Copies of this chain bind each other. A is one copy, B any other.
């Protein structure tokens, strides 16, 4: 994808599942999106900093982490056509312990809190879109929670392997392990056993 300017169809496609709005609405938003390319491994938001942007991933992947002891722990993996940010810090507009790292060279459309506030101040529609995003992120979190309580590590891995095989193969094992809530050693054993 060589797109440098967002077009309204892209936005519509990303949001359609959560929130349907006419093309004209997306067209009013697109001029406020900023195209960015992040290099692999770049930390785009450090722990202790405040998140000021929401990125919509065009291509690539981004992880949200925090440190425990000497290891980073991954609480979210985001891929194309989904939002990425430290939403906790974004909502509260204050620093969080989370950091955000780019996992592959990644293209995003980025929008700032300031722009979002403008859009949601001036239009009901803008506000509804933000709400839809917040709700989608909540759903994602709760589904994660239920999976964590319901499935064993092996079952979680198999599920991911079945539902998102491409993502498993694109993403470093250590991150997949961490996202699944286990150590790289445990994942290695599981992979060995499963395949």
Contacts and interface: CB of A to CB of B under 8 A. Distances in A.
A173 B138 CA distance: 27
A87 interface: yes
Contact of A91 (B124, B138, B146): B138
Contact of A149 (B73, B91, B127, B139): B73
A161 interface: no
Contacts of A141: 138, 141-142, 145
A27 to B, nearest CB: 21
Interface extent on A, as a size class?
20 to 34
Contacts of A135: 91, 134
A137 interface: yes
A144 interface: yes
A128 interface: yes
Interface in A92-145: 92, 120-121, 124, 127-128, 130-131, 134-135, 137-139, 141-142, 144-145
A177 to B, nearest CB: 13
A21 interface: no
B75 A142 contact: yes
A150 interface: yes
A146 B92 contact: no
A132 B24 CA distance: 26
A172 interface: no
